[in-house]
């Protein structure tokens, strides 16, 4: 199976053609202020190449989880403004997705101009489980373009109309972002340079169980931090106070610890606080001495040192999930320390999207310190688990 890419489309020529570009512009908002524009910047190479080649570019994306109807909280209007600033040229904004405003906006485009449609998920057909409803919406969306380019890597694990069904109705191509993400993920799965270290954090073991089971036989070291570490610590017999705990996963964690042996590294100390708040009283304690009335909100300095030592020996690192509540300053040191260790590796270092990518930017770490920062945490994990991704399958001919 082969996948046509933007390079193929540009070689065919796009001048005078309308290109429907599926992007992932699902950025975090504080009111109408974008707090992290990383996903917008990630699609700029594809978008700029199409614009400069004379295409009329019709961009579509989702934002948040509206319930299949317009919701002002999830409008893409702030994204259109930011996109225009980054492109240094106006971006026309259609106030609906496939209705009269979209039709009029798209009809008014000339070569080299860009429009953004309103949130795809304002339409129930986008996420519908009914193939007929999804297909009907996809047909309306496909009517706005002559060709389709998917550069929304963060959505390729979703069987949604704009990701799968449109690709069946128009000539379909992978954008440069999707191409680059796949190149890196193939390196991680097919021929990672050894030693290969995976760092996993985040809240729940259940969210990461499939990727842990898939990667544990392949890695030299698997380091576990974040809220999920407390279920592992409970499986070791430690009391974890009021820390996040999935009791139903304790036996599974016990089995993973036995299977992983010394390749599975868990925290030896944590920062335990009286409450989930920046001003809460907190102290670093060994994992064997977490007070019953406290909850762990970060890994401790000794754990950071041990993790950094393991990371420092690596030639390949994949990181997904923060080590603690990095958004609150007293509990950011673990994530910062691990991220800095990864940035110092002489080899392939991949940040697996989501909160890890956000942490790099929130903590002010240079993005250039990492080989690749993914735009799709969920998609990256599912690829590493070995799951087929519907959006990629739809692009294969």
Phi, psi of 311 (to 5 degrees): -65, -40
* Residue 82 marked as a ligand binder: no
Does 355 belong to an annotated binding site? yes
Positions marked catalytic: 39, 204, 354, 378
The two beta strands, 221-224 and 269-273, are: unpaired
Residue in 382, 282, 393, 367 with CA at minimum distance from that of residue 37:
367
Q: What is the DSSP letter of 164?
A: I
Q: Is 180 annotated to bind ligand?
A: no
Say if CB 98 and CB 118 are below 8 A apart. no
- Does 327 show up as a binding residue in the annotation? yes
The answer to the question of whether 39 is labelled as a binding residue is yes
259 annotated as belonging to a binding site for a ligand:
no
CA distances in angstroms from 159 to 100, 129, 132, 233, 392, listed in the order given: 26, 9, 13, 36, 10
Ligand-binding site membership of 296 (annotated): yes
Question: Angle, nearest 10°, between helix axes 44-52 and 77-87?
Answer: 60
64 is known to lie in a ligand binding site:
yes
CA–CA separation, 166 and 160 (whole Å): 9
Distances (CA, A) of 382 to 2, 69, 158, 250: 20, 28, 11, 23
Torsion (CA) 354, 356, 357, 363 in degrees, nearest 10: 140
Q: How far apart are CA 93 and CA 73, in angstroms?
A: 16
Q: Does residue 121 have a known ligand-binding role?
A: yes
Is residue 158 a known part of a binding site? yes
Q: Per the annotation, does 89 bind a ligand?
A: no
Confirm whether residue 181 is marked as ligand binding.
Answer: no
| Contacts with 217 (C-beta within 8 Å, 6 or more apart), sequence order | none
Is residue 376 annotated as involved in ligand binding?
Answer: no
26 is in an annotated binding site: yes
Residue positions forming the annotated binding site for (2R)-3-phosphoglycerate: 39, 121, 158
Residue positions forming the annotated binding site for ATP: 208, 296, 327, 353-356
Residue positions forming the annotated binding site for substrate: 24-26, 39, 62-65, 121, 158
Residue positions forming the annotated binding site: 24-26, 39, 62-65, 121, 158, 208, 296, 327, 353-356
């Amino acid at each position: 199976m082969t996948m046509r890419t933007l390079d193929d489309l540009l070689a065919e020529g796009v001048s005078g053609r309308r290109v429907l570009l599926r992007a992932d512009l699902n950025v975090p908002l504080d009111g109408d202020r974008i707090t992290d524009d990383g996903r917008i910047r990630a699609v700029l190479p594809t978008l700029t190449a199409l614009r400069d080649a004379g295409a009329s570019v019709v961009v579509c994306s989702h934002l948040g989880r509206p319930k299949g109807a317009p919701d002002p909280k999830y409008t893409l209007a702030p994204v259109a403004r930011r996109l225009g600033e980054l492109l240094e040229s106006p971006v026309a904004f259609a106030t609906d997705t496939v209705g009269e405003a979209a039709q009029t906006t798209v009809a008014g485009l000339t070569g080299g101009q860009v429009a953004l449609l309103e949130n795809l998920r304002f339409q129930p057909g986008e996420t519908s489980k009914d193939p007929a409803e999804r297909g009907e919406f996809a047909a309306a969306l496909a009517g706005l373009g002559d060709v389709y380019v998917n550069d929304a890597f963060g959505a390729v694990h979703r069987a949604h109309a704009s990701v799968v069904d449109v690709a069946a109705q128009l000539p379909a191509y992978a954008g440069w972002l999707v191409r680059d993400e796949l190149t890196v993920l193939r390196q991680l799965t097919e021929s990672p340079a050894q030693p290969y270290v995976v760092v996993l954090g985040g809240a729940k073991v259940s969210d990461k169980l499939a990727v842990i089971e898939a990667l544990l036989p392949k890695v030299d070291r698997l380091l576990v931090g974040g809220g999920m570490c407390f279920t592992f610590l409970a499986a070791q017999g430690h009391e974890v106070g009021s820390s996040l705990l999935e009791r139903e996963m304790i036996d599974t964690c016990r089995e993973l610890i036995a299977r992983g042996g010394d390749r599975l590294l868990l925290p030896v100390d944590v920062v335990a606080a009286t409450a989930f708040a920046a001003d809460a009283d907190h102290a670093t304690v060994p994992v064997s001495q977490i007070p019953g009335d406290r909850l762990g909100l970060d890994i401790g300095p000794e754990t950071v040192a041990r993790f950094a030592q393991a990371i420092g020996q690596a030639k390949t690192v994949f990181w997904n999930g923060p080590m603690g509540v990095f958004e609150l300053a007293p509990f950011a040191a673990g994530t910062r320390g691990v991220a800095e260790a990864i940035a110092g590796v002489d080899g392939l270092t991949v940040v697996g999207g989501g909160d890890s990518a956000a942490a790099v930017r929130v903590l002010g770490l240079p993005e250039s310190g990492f080989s690749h920062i993914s735009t799709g945490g969920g998609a990256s994990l599912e690829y590493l688990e070995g799951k087929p991704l519907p959006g990629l399958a739809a692009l294969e001919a």
